[in-house]
Amino acid sequence: MEVYKCRICGDPYLGSSVPSHCPFCGAEAKYIALAGEWREPDDFELSEVSEANLQHALMLENNNSRFYRCSFEVSMDVKLMAMFKALSKVEAEHASVIRKLLGLPKESQEEDTRGRCHAVESENLKEAHDRETKAIVFYAQAAEVAVEPRVKEVLAAFVEIEKTHLELNKKAMEAFPGMFNGPIA
C-alpha cells in the first residue's frame, strides 16, 4: 500500500498503484505522484487576467456542481443517478481547487438545488453536453493566456477532465436511443 497525492487537487489516495484518474477531481494519472515526492506549490501572485478567469471558473464549477446534484435528485435511472452524483462531486472538487488558487476559504454549506435542472433526463443530458463543451472551450482559452505555471497546469488538467465528462455524457446519451435526434456531437 502506498500513499499518493494528486498534483491538481492535493488530495491523498491510498492504493497499491497509481489510479488511472484521481478519484476526487478526475485528473489523469500523470498528475498523481507518491505523496513523499510532491509538495504543494509555493504561494504566488495572480495576474488580473488569471484572477478574472478563475473567478469565472469558480462560478462555472459551482453552477455545474449544483446542476449535476439537481439532475441526480430528479433522475429515475440508476446509472444516470450515479453519473450525475459523481459529476456533482468532481465539479465541487474543481471549485475547491479554484477557491484555493484564489485564496478563498472553503465553501461551508450546500444550497438548495431545486430549479437548477430539468425534470426530464434527456434535457439534463443535453444541457450537460452543452455545459461540458463550454467548460472545455473556456478552460483551454484561460490556460492559454495564464502566465502562472500552476494556473496553467490546473486549467490544462481541467480541459482533460471535462473532455472525459463530455465522453461519459455522450455514452449516456447513446444508451437512450430515440431520446435524441441526430448524431451526438
151 and 67 together in one domain: yes
| 184 pLDDT above the threshold of 60 | no
Residue 90 — very low, low, confident or very high, per pLDDT cuts 50/70/90?
very high
Spatial distance between the Cα atoms of 67 and 165, rounded to a whole number of angstroms: 14
Q: For 2-42, write each residue's pLDDT tens digit.
A: 999 999 999 999 999 999 999 999 999 999 999 999 888 88
29 and 49 together in one domain: no
| 98 pLDDT above the threshold of 90 | yes
| 183 pLDDT above the threshold of 90 | no
pTM to 2 decimals? 0.92
29 and 92 together in one domain: no
32 and 9 together in one domain: yes
If we measure between CA atoms, which residue out of 115, 121, 119 comes closest to residue 172? 121
125 and 51 together in one domain: yes
Domain total in the chain: 2
53 and 86 together in one domain: yes
Return the amino acid letter for 34: L
Residue 63 lies in a domain: yes
119 and 154 together in one domain: yes
35 and 67 together in one domain: no
Return the amino acid letter for 183: P
**Region 119-124 average pLDDT:** 92
